[in-house]
Amino acid sequence: MVLNNKVVITVAVVTYNSALTIVETLNSIASQSYGAESIELIISDDSSLDDTIKVVSAWLNEYGHKFKKIHLIENVINGGIAKNCNSVWKAATSKWIKTIAGDDVLFVDCLSDNYQYVCEHPNAKLVFSSMQLFKVNTEGNAQLIGKMPDAYSLPFFNLNSADQFKFLQSQSVHGAPSAFINKLLLEEIGFADERFPLMEDYPLWFKITKQGYKIHFLDKDTVYYRISDSVSNSVTRLINDNFIFEMYLINKLVICPSLSWHQAITKFRILSWPLMMLFVSKIFKNKRNKVSVLFLYISLIIRPGSLQYVRRKLKI
């Protein structure tokens, strides 16, 4: 896709121990149909323990000349995802920012499709889009395993900003890897909340909709999202205790204060479900088995929106 009168777009790459995957990520940025010459490439590394910086530096030495601007930020202290995102967002000099992790891959028309959407929808300041989920098997081959958001989550994007805010008062929405966001909007809402180092997205979407901005949706695939044993995913442990405890803190410090007195039951539910998950994890020593998973799902029933989600899945 070719667009006329192109503006410079920032691609913000956040890395941590990404030495094995970052070249594929960077290659997908350099290959954008939007044109590397119209891309400001900013990479912020969260004090990686592997050779991420070495690999990135070598790649930039070979291909950096293709871009409008390049900037590599080497953080000395590991500050977490939220702080790393803020580091690269604050360094951006363009109006629009596409953020990507150092293990994901952009579709070739990602920037073109997103920019065309915001040109056609002048009120859009934040756009999500479809993502293809993939895993790399033991032979090193990528396998597509699904799509996100799923059909049951799409009605969220038909809501106005006020109703999206109400929805986010009780449950989150997935889409961070696809987000295309306006720099001025990030400045207005104060960037990501660094009190929550593991989760930059949920509090950010909450603040944005609270300010009256709608989260838009572009119905096109723009990102290949890698599924791995990361912050919130594991095939061996039951849960990530730190991640769930941070979810509890977000509910306590951000979500609950926005609820009115007559929403006491909702407050109780959003505070209780992560505590119950942590309790189940402690009882089973955070080991995944059939019994522990059963108790985990039972604890999740308390979470607002969980029963509606199950009903939609079962079509009852």
pLDDT (tens digit, 9 = 90+) per residue, 32-63?
999 999 999 999 999 999 999 999 999 999 99
Domain CATH code at residue 208: 3.90.550.10
pLDDT (tens digit, 9 = 90+) per residue, 260-273?
989 999 999 999 99
pLDDT (tens digit, 9 = 90+) per residue, 162-191?
999 999 998 888 889 999 999 999 999 999
Q: What proportion of the chain, given as a percentage, has pLDDT over 70? A: 93
234 within some domain:
no
> Among 22-31, 165-174, 188-197, which is the least confidently predicted range?
165-174
72 within some domain:
yes
For residue 85, give every residue at least 6 positions away whose Cβ sits within 8 Å of its Cβ, in sequence order, or none: 12, 14, 44, 99, 191, 192, 200
pLDDT score of 311 more than 70: no
pLDDT, residue 145, reads: 85
More confident residue, 85 or 309: 85
pLDDT score of 3 more than 60: no
From 253, 306, 296, select the one nearest 275 (Cα to Cα). Answer: 296
Q: What proportion of the chain, given as a percentage, has pLDDT over 90? A: 78
Q: Which residue has the tokens 């912050």?
A: 231
264 and 210, same domain (yes or no): no
pLDDT (tens digit, 9 = 90+) per residue, 236-246?
788 999 999 99
- Tell if the pTM clears 0.95, that is, is over it: no
More confident residue, 145 or 245: 245
pLDDT, residue 301, reads: 87
266 and 149, same domain (yes or no): no
CB hemisphere CA count around 20 (13 angstroms): 5
Tell me the residue range of the domain where 64 lies.
Answer: 9-226
> Mean pLDDT of all residues in the chain?
91
127 and 254, same domain (yes or no): no
Cα separations in angstroms, 139 against 17, 22, 142:
21, 19, 9
Q: How many structural domains are present in the chain?
A: 2
